Amino acid sequence: MKTKSTLFIVTLLVLALFTTLSCQTINTYLDEEHQDGYDNYDDGESDYNAAAEEAPQAPAPQMEAAACPAVLSSILAAATTPVDSSEDQGDSPYGEDGQVLVTYQISGDRILNPQHESVTGELQSYQDDAAAHQEIWDYYAALIPSGERSLMTAFIIMTDGQDNSLAAVAQDPADPYSWSLEIDIIDSEDLYNLTYTLIHEYGHLLTLNKDQVEPDLNVFADPEDDAAYDAAEAACPNYFPGEGCADSDSYINSFFGRFWDDIYDEWFDINLEEDDDVYYEKLDDFYYKYEDNFVTDYAVTNPEEDIAESWTFFVLQPKPTGNTTADQKILFFYEYPDLVSLREHIRTNICSQLAQP
């Protein structure tokens, strides 16, 4: 049975149905707004050394020693500062899934062939700002090595209004093995929040790409077919994140078995709650019951968000020395030498882009 964390979302991209993994501009707190499940992307357990040879190298490799700690901790702090939940932002003026403005094809490090949607009013200026679109893409490409985003085929500029979802990744509606990156141009000006969110979204791509989770073609062909979904989930001997059955040695299957197996049934019962107010209240209680298990309260949303949040902390903060479950989730990634190398490369890239002399 589909749960809230694995529902497929209707987007405005060519009126197609595809899975999205969308993240708030800043850390989403549980008493504010629940997002139906999303997520997906990347080359999985990648050959980082080959990717590093292809990617532009940072001009100051020695910077990783210092790792511009003030910048990295400022990014983490900005993205995880609690929001005043008393200020109701209301519904998005552009619908639940936002308004797509422009879709670019990706070719290596370039974006090209922009496809413009029909928009009016203030959205026209955002749609026409090709320089801003290029700047956002260039920043993402500067952070994530090219070999690590080879499955990404579309870059989408969209908006759902201010301070809602900043970014999302999604399966290409025509190809379950390819992915797109969506960015809300209205929320993209804060580079610290943008940086955090881009790393988080890459975490989805890293853990849900075809080499980690084989896409289920029946589910992909008709995301609204509950019978196909239930059959695929029942046939999976490992964790089933929604796109397909996770490989036994995949990051997310290992992460789930180590950190979620003993609490999943309790979370699953909460996730079936149809009343949003009751759902948020129960999920709040679940988070505070297991607070030491999660790096943020957004991580409690589902295992996919948990591993993406833990990955983001792995990249941005020093290696933990504590022994909480949240610490262990960050240390999980240190067990993979290729991910440790990738971490160092991304951190150096962040410092090169943001640290001022």
Q: Which residue has tokens 């292809």?
A: 54
Q: How confident is the model at residue 3 (pLDDT cuts 50, 70, 90)?
A: low
pLDDT for the residue 69: 86
The residue ranking higher by pLDDT, 13 or 225, is 225
pLDDT for the residue 163: 84
Averaged pLDDT score across all residues of the chain: 83
Q: For the chain, give the percent of residues with pLDDT over 70.
A: 77
Per residue in 133-152, pLDDT tens?
999 999 999 999 999 999 99
The residue ranking higher by pLDDT, 55 or 278, is 278
Per residue in 60-113, pLDDT tens?
444 444 548 889 999 999 888 765 433 445 566 676 778 999 999 999 999 999
* Cβ atoms of 209 and 254 closer than 8 Å: no
Residue 199 has pLDDT above 60, yes or no: yes
Cα–Cα distance for residue pair 144/167, rounded to 1 Å:
15
Residue 24 has pLDDT above 90, yes or no: no
Residue 336 has pLDDT above 90, yes or no: yes
Q: State the DSSP H helix or E strand holding residue 22, giving kind and residue range, or none if neither.
A: strand 20-24
Cα–Cα distance for residue pair 119/7, rounded to 1 Å:
28
**Whole-prediction pTM value?**
0.82
- CA 165-167-171 angle, to 5 degrees, is 120
pLDDT for the residue 53: 36
Q: Which residues contact 326 (CB under 8 A, 6 or more apart)?
A: 292, 293, 294, 295, 310
pLDDT for the residue 197: 96
Q: State the DSSP H helix or E strand holding residue 102, giving kind and residue range, or none if neither.
A: strand 99-107
Q: Which amino acid type is present at position 352?
A: S
